[in-house]
Chains A and B, each alone.
Chain A
Amino acid sequence: MTDMYPALLRLTGYGSKWSVEQGDSIDFFVNCDGPASYRAELVKLIHGDTHPSGPGVKEEVIDSPLNGTYPGQPQTIHAGSYAVVLDRRPLRVDSFTMQCWIWPTMPTKVDGYWSPGEQMIMGKWADGRGYGLFLDLDGRVCLRINGQTLTAAEPVRDRAWHFIAATFDAETGCAVLYHEPQIRYALDPKPEPVEAVFTERAAHTAVPFTFAAHPSHTEPDGTSLQPHGWVMTDHYNGKIDAARLCSRALTRLEIETMKLGSAAGMDERRGVGPSAELGAAMVAAWDFNLEIPTRTIVDSGPYRLDGELVGLPARGMTGHNWSGTQVSWSADHREYGAIHFHDDDVDDARWTVDFTVTVPADLPSAVYAVKLTTNEGDEDYIPFMVRTPLGAPQSKIAVIMSTTDYMAYANEHQASNFGSLEALVYRTPIMAPQNIFLSVHREYGYSLYDTHSDGSGVHMSSRLRPVLNFRPKCDSVITQAPWQFNADLHLIDWLIQLGYDFDVITDEDISYDGLERIEGYNVLLTGSHPEHKDGRYLDAIHAYKDRGGRFMYMGGDGFYWRHTFHSGYGRGEITEMRRCESGIRPWQAQPGEYYHQSDGKLGGMWRFLGRDMAAVSGTSMVAQGFDVSTYFKRTPESDDPRVAWAFDGIEYGERLGDFGLVGGGAAGAELDNVDTTLGSPPHTLLVATSAGLHTDAYLTVTELILTNAPGHTGTQHPRIRADMAFHETPNGGGVWSFSSISYCGSLSHNNYDNNISTLTANVLNRFAQDGPLPAPDASGIRTRGRFESTPALNYHLPEEVGSG
């Protein structure tokens, strides 16, 4: 009893799209592991917070041809990235030399590790037939020909480059294995090659030549949806660089020369190899530093044995020859020849389609889900958003569901992986069944808040897999309350409850469709935590605001991290984000690896790319804490005629939001403040604040702490606060910033009759009106300096006066 779990999550699934246009279709993929059948029905999602102090779960069943019972089938995710070069005659070598550099990150595995076994580096091997280079269970490099094995004397060192090579002479049976660490410490043994005589030549099969995994069997599985039917095993964790294959046993000197690869251009005749003799022996010389933004690996050798990457390994990775002179692969790709493979990479679950739904053209834009249930009590939801055709809004109001953020947090593992989460949240975290399931089922992949099994940061996330926290009825370990998608349903519910007509769009739609997706709306509302965004999204929002659009920033910590979508996949399917030298980071990219593989540009915080958060949302992330929330109080600027309309029906002295479903207050979790040195326009009005009311769980964000010194907690620093703010934008537009993640959790309090609901409705009603907002009084038109409110600083930024 003490170590048993109930059968958790036997029903999981995903859809091919998170945003679908009216009239288009979505495929649904379901894993039903146990029950013989399941029921599916289309529901409109309204409210997903189960906390007893709130209105509870609200959903409406929608009549749909999809509603019905379906046969259940278990479906498995084959995690782990690899490269595959389909079988070609030149790869069926008798004598050979294989060589490459490796930077292994998990040479051995602890007992109980979810993916035990050897690790394939490169070769053409499966089921005891073929040839290949491996790491064995003791972390030693070995050459395998069929079942014959030649093993290096010493194990590899983790996170260190090693040159490895193996030669085999089919005539003599002589095999030699070289294992040469790039760095040799004083007490390291001298690396020596090992030799053996094998009696068998490699048996050739139809299996592909692969990197970082090998097929489980010598024949493809015709029923599998894995690429080309090859199901892989023995995944490798670590980097591979400068892989070469030759068709004879080279001498050590020739191997050294072959490190150069095809080296075309060394003479006017453009020989394929580094020398005429070696050129004649070359089968392939893969240069992983080419076509980095794609799913292709390029062979620079004579046969064009290009390959395909599966599972989204990390590219744009520093190679064995990285000097640090350039820190971007796009500036000089030659030192970025490494691909970093992980056994827990996932690009696409590749499940069999259970059913396809065509969304009726007249189904209103809203948040929906396919609800899955069984007679045995299993339940899951697969949410999706229905949008209108491009350029054809059906309401004056649109809510932006933060799909990029939902991907960033997809299947986060912080409670089971990250011990100090407990210090961060200031209480013992509460894990949900989904968290327990994911702690075992590592093949479901990670969020951008996690590290891979080998400790390297996860910088890409796919939505083509079940995402168990993109669900209603789901609390986060971070807040003990809904987070992201389920928290955004607080807003959806309030809009429906108050009778507003609104469309639903997603980050992905704005990023791909640009301004046309949003320009027809009078007002846009964000979700509770729009933190992760790509540049095209920001461009569109900026243009929208400049043309008179109104923007309600309903959350906290918005517009923080730079994202790109991977062009090798479909619309919005894969997003990339690198954590560099600033920002609140659960991991940090390695030196030289700050540039996105998707587009070759610098990643990290938008602030340090010259796009301040407050320039988008009016306020800027300043602090976070996750124990409990608090309330706002009005400031004198709330009586300014430019904003006084927002407080109709609210007394000056009221505590705004001293209640709520996220931490028990409207100001909490992550907080933004007005800062005219960080993008808040100088004419911003700071109308309410939670200054001085937060606990010591709230700390200043790391990027604002220049020198680590005490004094950065909620009871000690007046800048730890959420500021509610307003500013006008050109042509009758405006921005209202609520500046707190927990804000939307307060909307439903007291049957939606409360001062947060009143304030929000006042702002929305004003912003949703047709035509430009009323012009401010002419007396308010004047030039304002960024430091106008802080003349004592004498135009010095905090960074410049060294205040820390």
Chain B
Amino acid sequence: MIPIPQDDATRQQMLDEIQASVEDFRGVPGFSVLRTERPGSAIGAHAGIQDDVRLDRVLTRMRMQPTGAFGGKLIIVCTKLEQEWRIARLSGIRGVPPKFIDTRVFADEQSAQAEIFAMRLEQYPAEDGMPEHCTPAWKARGENWA
């Protein structure tokens, strides 16, 4: 199982890659951790997770987490149409809404993608899904992982 990188250099490299994607996708109604032919365009996807296989697998492991795992999955909430976005945490419980995790307000819809990745590097354990992590919860299919 792919571990979450713990060393600063790898983490920074991954963050830089995501941040570069954020810059390319500013103004685009869509997002991926990829570079494009020019900022503001979705066309010509290359680099990013198409080249960095480790980043792709780490991102997928994070993205497959259940809604309530490890304190709740981070998500973006648009609080003011086309103007303001904030980061919240899913509850995993029907009827309990996501809760904002801080007071930061982002002025574009892509920026929080990189912030959430940075937060998840701390949120999720380096190792997971290995035999030593087996719990009784593994005996029934849960949501995605776990």
Q: Contact at B76–A431, with CB atoms within 8 Å?
A: yes
Q: Contact at B31–A480, with CB atoms within 8 Å?
A: yes
- Give, as a whole number of angstroms, the nearest-CB distance from A420 to chain B: 4
Cα A326 to Cα B79 in complex, Å, equals 51
Contacts of A420 in B (CB 8 A): 63-64, 143-144
Cα A431 to Cα B60 in complex, Å, equals 20
Knowing A2-B101, A420-B63, the reply to whether A628 touches B82 (Cβ < 8 A) is no
Contacts of A417 in B (CB 8 A): 67, 94
- Give, as a whole number of angstroms, the nearest-CB distance from B22 to chain A: 10
Cα A697 to Cα B102 in complex, Å, equals 30
Please give me the 8 A-B residue pairs with the lowest Cβ-Cβ distance, nearest first: A114-B95, A664-B42, A627-B32, A663-B30, A628-B42, A422-B63, A423-B63, A3-B99
| Residue from A114, A427, A436, A627 having most chain B Cβ neighbours under 10 A | A427
Q: A189 within 8 Å of B by Cβ?
A: no
Q: Contact at B99–A663, with CB atoms within 8 Å?
A: no
Q: B93 within 8 Å of A by Cβ?
A: yes
- Give, as a whole number of angstroms, the nearest-CB distance from A300 to chain B: 37
Contacts of A112 in B (CB 8 A): 91, 93, 95-96
Knowing A112-B93, A431-B98, A627-B32, the reply to whether A665 touches B75 (Cβ < 8 A) is no
Cα A631 to Cα B80 in complex, Å, equals 31
- Give, as a whole number of angstroms, the nearest-CB distance from A663 to chain B: 4
Q: Contact at A662–B94, with CB atoms within 8 Å?
A: no
Q: Contact at A665–B77, with CB atoms within 8 Å?
A: no
Q: A299 within 8 Å of B by Cβ?
A: no
What are 17 sample pairs from A and B whose C-beta atoms fall under 8 A apart? A50-B82, A112-B95, A422-B64, A427-B31, A428-B113, A429-B76, A430-B78, A433-B77, A436-B77, A439-B94, A439-B96, A440-B97, A453-B94, A628-B45, A660-B29, A664-B28, A695-B32
Q: B5 within 8 Å of A by Cβ?
A: no
Which residues of A from 3 to 59 have beta carbons under 8 Å from B?
Answer: 3-6, 50-53
- Give, as a whole number of angstroms, the nearest-CB distance from B112 to chain A: 7
Other A-B pairs, 14, CB within 8 Å; known A3-B100, A419-B69, A428-B116: A4-B100, A112-B96, A416-B67, A422-B63, A430-B75, A432-B78, A433-B77, A433-B79, A440-B97, A475-B78, A627-B30, A630-B43, A658-B41, A668-B30
Residues on A facing B (Cβ under 8 Å): 1-6, 50-53, 110-115, 415-420, 422-423, 426-433, 436, 439-440, 442, 453, 473, 475, 479-481, 627-631, 655, 658-665, 668, 695-697, 715, 745
Cα A516 to Cα B66 in complex, Å, equals 49
Q: Contact at B91–A663, with CB atoms within 8 Å?
A: no
Q: Contact at B42–A2, with CB atoms within 8 Å?
A: no
**In the complex, residue of chain B having the shortest beta-carbon distance to the beta carbon of A668:** B30
**In the complex, residue of chain B having the shortest beta-carbon distance to the beta carbon of A453:** B94
Give which listed residue, A51, A114, A695, A697, contacts B94 with CB less than 8 A. Answer: A114
Q: Contact at B32–A480, with CB atoms within 8 Å?
A: no
Cα A234 to Cα B43 in complex, Å, equals 54
Give which listed residue, B56, B74, B91, B113, contacts A427 with CB less than 8 A. Answer: B113
Q: Contact at B29–A661, with CB atoms within 8 Å?
A: yes
Which residues of B from 88 to 138 have beta carbons under 8 Å from A?
Answer: 88, 90-91, 93-103, 109, 112-113, 116
Cα A428 to Cα B112 in complex, Å, equals 9
Give which listed residue, B27, B30, B98, contacts A436 with CB less than 8 A. Answer: B98
Contacts of B66 in A (CB 8 A): 419
**In the complex, residue of chain B having the shortest beta-carbon distance to the beta carbon of A115:** B95
Give which listed residue, B28, B49, B56, B97, contacts A439 with CB less than 8 A. Answer: B97
Contacts of A426 in B (CB 8 A): 32-33, 63
Which residues of B from 23 to 73 have beta carbons under 8 Å from A?
Answer: 25, 27-34, 41-43, 45, 49-50, 56, 60, 63-67, 69, 73
Contacts of B97 in A (CB 8 A): 5, 416, 436, 439-440
Contacts of B49 in A (CB 8 A): 696
Give which listed residue, B60, B85, B102, contacts A430 with CB less than 8 A. Answer: B85
Contacts of B93 in A (CB 8 A): 110-113
Size bracket, chain B contacts: 35 or more
Q: Contact at B78–A431, with CB atoms within 8 Å?
A: yes
Knowing A113-B93, A630-B43, the reply to whether A423 touches B100 (Cβ < 8 A) is no
Contacts of A439 in B (CB 8 A): 94-98
**In the complex, residue of chain A having the shortest beta-carbon distance to the beta carbon of B146:** A419
Contacts of B103 in A (CB 8 A): 1-2
Q: B9 within 8 Å of A by Cβ?
A: no
Knowing A2-B102, A630-B42, the reply to whether A428 touches B32 (Cβ < 8 A) is no
Cα A330 to Cα B112 in complex, Å, equals 52
Q: B81 within 8 Å of A by Cβ?
A: yes
Q: Contact at A628–B94, with CB atoms within 8 Å?
A: no
- Give, as a whole number of angstroms, the nearest-CB distance from A110 to chain B: 6
Q: Contact at A6–B95, with CB atoms within 8 Å?
A: no
Contacts of B76 in A (CB 8 A): 428-431
Knowing A423-B60, A664-B42, A664-B43, the reply to whether A2 touches B100 (Cβ < 8 A) is yes
A-B pair number, CB within 8 angstroms: 170
Give which listed residue, B64, B78, B90, B96, contacts A433 with CB less than 8 A. Answer: B78
Contacts of A436 in B (CB 8 A): 77, 97-98
Contacts of A418 in B (CB 8 A): 67, 143
Give which listed residue, B30, B50, B143, contacts A481 with CB less than 8 A. Answer: B30
Contacts of A53 in B (CB 8 A): 27-29
Contacts of A427 in B (CB 8 A): 31-33, 113
- Give, as a whole number of angstroms, the nearest-CB distance from A301 to chain B: 38
| Residue from B56, B63, B81 having most chain A Cβ neighbours under 10 A | B63
Q: Contact at B45–A695, with CB atoms within 8 Å?
A: yes
Cα A432 to Cα B85 in complex, Å, equals 10
**In the complex, residue of chain A having the shortest beta-carbon distance to the beta carbon of B91:** A112
- Give, as a whole number of angstroms, the nearest-CB distance from A187 to chain B: 15
Cα A663 to Cα B29 in complex, Å, equals 5
Contacts of B69 in A (CB 8 A): 419
Cα A697 to Cα B59 in complex, Å, equals 12
Contacts of A111 in B (CB 8 A): 93
Contacts of B112 in A (CB 8 A): 428
Q: Contact at A665–B143, with CB atoms within 8 Å?
A: no
Cα A304 to Cα B87 in complex, Å, equals 57
Contacts of A661 in B (CB 8 A): 29
Knowing A2-B99, A110-B93, A114-B95, the reply to whether A422 touches B29 (Cβ < 8 A) is no
Knowing A416-B98, A439-B97, A439-B98, the reply to whether A50 touches B77 (Cβ < 8 A) is no
**In the complex, residue of chain A having the shortest beta-carbon distance to the beta carbon of B29:** A481
Q: Contact at B34–A628, with CB atoms within 8 Å?
A: yes
**In the complex, residue of chain A having the shortest beta-carbon distance to the beta carbon of B109:** A430
Cα A562 to Cα B100 in complex, Å, equals 40
Contacts of A415 in B (CB 8 A): 75
Cα A113 to Cα B68 in complex, Å, equals 14
Cα A659 to Cα B37 in complex, Å, equals 12
Contacts of A428 in B (CB 8 A): 63, 74-76, 112-113, 116
Q: Contact at B27–A52, with CB atoms within 8 Å?
A: yes
Knowing A428-B112, A430-B85, A439-B98, the reply to whether A419 touches B64 (Cβ < 8 A) is yes
Contacts of B27 in A (CB 8 A): 52-53
- Give, as a whole number of angstroms, the nearest-CB distance from B25 to chain A: 8
Q: Contact at B90–A480, with CB atoms within 8 Å?
A: no
Q: Contact at B30–A696, with CB atoms within 8 Å?
A: no
Knowing A627-B30, A628-B32, the reply to whether A665 touches B42 (Cβ < 8 A) is yes
Contacts of A433 in B (CB 8 A): 77-79
Contacts of B74 in A (CB 8 A): 428
Cα A665 to Cα B42 in complex, Å, equals 7
Contacts of B91 in A (CB 8 A): 112
Contacts of B50 in A (CB 8 A): 695-696, 715
- Give, as a whole number of angstroms, the nearest-CB distance from B116 to chain A: 5
- Give, as a whole number of angstroms, the nearest-CB distance from A11 to chain B: 15
Cα A697 to Cα B60 in complex, Å, equals 11
Cα A658 to Cα B94 in complex, Å, equals 40
**In the complex, residue of chain B having the shortest beta-carbon distance to the beta carbon of A455:** B143
Cα A418 to Cα B77 in complex, Å, equals 16
Cα A418 to Cα B28 in complex, Å, equals 25
| Residue from A51, A419, A696 having most chain B Cβ neighbours under 10 A | A419
Q: Contact at B65–A479, with CB atoms within 8 Å?
A: no
Cα A696 to Cα B56 in complex, Å, equals 10
